[in-house]
Amino acid sequence: MRHLIVAEDLTAAEIEAIFAISRDLQEKYAAGRRDALLPGRVLALVFEKPSLRTRVSFEAAMTHLGGSSLFLGQDSGFASSRESIADFGRVLGGYVDAIVCRSKSHETIERLADVAGVPVINGLSDMAHPCQALADIYTLRQEIGRVKGMTLTFVGDGNNVARSLAVVCGLLGMRFVLAAPEGYHFDPAFRRHLAEILPEAEVEETTDAAAAVTDAAAVYTDVWASMGQEQERAERQKAFASFQVNEALMARCPDAVFMHCLPARRGEEVTDGVIDGPKSIVLPQATNRMHLQKGLLAWLLGHAE
């Protein structure tokens, strides 16, 4: 049994296997076919934070695969004083075949995975957003043909999304550049971890966004204040003011596509002109969450050892 808590839980070969299943299912879906690979299987979604894409893409994916899903929000009592995470996870794991968890704390998802007895998938934590990063690189390959040897420049906070992207890029041979103001780069512990698990990975950090995008095949951004950081919003708006992805920045890399995990704060980290512009691939990114996660579910519940 396998979990997906961080992107580095997968090898490059496993990511390629998941991409291949996703591609096959995506093509069949486009042709009107929905292969019931997981009949009767149940997926639970345990969420401590809001979600549109992660929740709906997993629920739709599970239905297309012939299974079903159930959403457990705050009223389930997860990670509250109602009962321990161990009791919650052991009981839930007895009812369902897999769990997607979105939590305020990465450690909560790890504790759930330790006890659940079924695969646990991280649907976003403060540390990582592996499903997002996998769907993003899957999308990028569809859009630009190949990712190996290309550069993805992330202009913004060294947050959950940036971390997972750095790992998936490192695994698949893509150069990753983080352009962020001082104080918002990767923390030293994550940098050490990356160097240890992916010594060959090309991961660079800079404060110069204009220089960082010049050789980018893709420019990516995310909100400056993530869910749970709302009280830092004013301070972050100041710190990130010169890191907006706007037409002037994108003019430095006219061939690059624009990416965003969404939801976006238009007028802050990105302008309308860029996110709605001809180089934006944010909608295929969002749609591919469903296709990629179908491949992931089929792999985790069918193929993974």
Judged by the rule CB under 6 A, the positions of this chain that interact with ligand NVA are 124, 159-161, 222-223, 226-227, 261
Q: Is 51 in the site for ligand CP (CB under 6 A)?
A: yes
What does 127 bind: ligand CP, ligand NVA, none (CB cut-off 5 to 8 Å by kind)? Answer: none
Angle of the 282-298 helix axis to the 53-64 helix axis, nearest 10: 50
Contact at 8 Å (CB) between 233 and 271? no
Would you say 225 or 253 has its CB closer to ligand CP?
Answer: 225
Which member of 101, 131, 169, 261 is catalytic? 261
Residue 160 host element (H or E):
helix 160-172
Of 126, 111, 103, 134, nearest to 9 (Cα)? 134
Annotation says 261 is catalytic: yes
> Residue from 37, 198, 262, 264 that binds ligand CP (CB under 6 A)?
262
Residue 201 site contact among ligand NVA, ligand CP, none (CB < 5 to 8 Å, cut-off depends on kind): none
223 binds, among ligand NVA, ligand CP, none (CB under 5 to 8 A by kind): ligand NVA
Going from the C-alpha of 91 to that of each of 32, 73, 119, 161, 189, the distances in angstroms are 37, 16, 14, 30, 34
Concerning whether 129 is annotated as a catalytic residue, the answer is yes
Closest contact distance (angstroms) between CB of 229 and ligand NVA is: 8
Q: Active-site residue 146, yes or no?
A: no
In angstroms, the CA 255 to CA 125 distance is 32
Listed residue (251, 296, 243) closest to 133, CA to CA? 296
Q: Among this protein's residues, is 289 annotated catalytic?
A: yes
Would you name the residues annotated as active-site residues? 102, 129, 132, 222, 261, 289
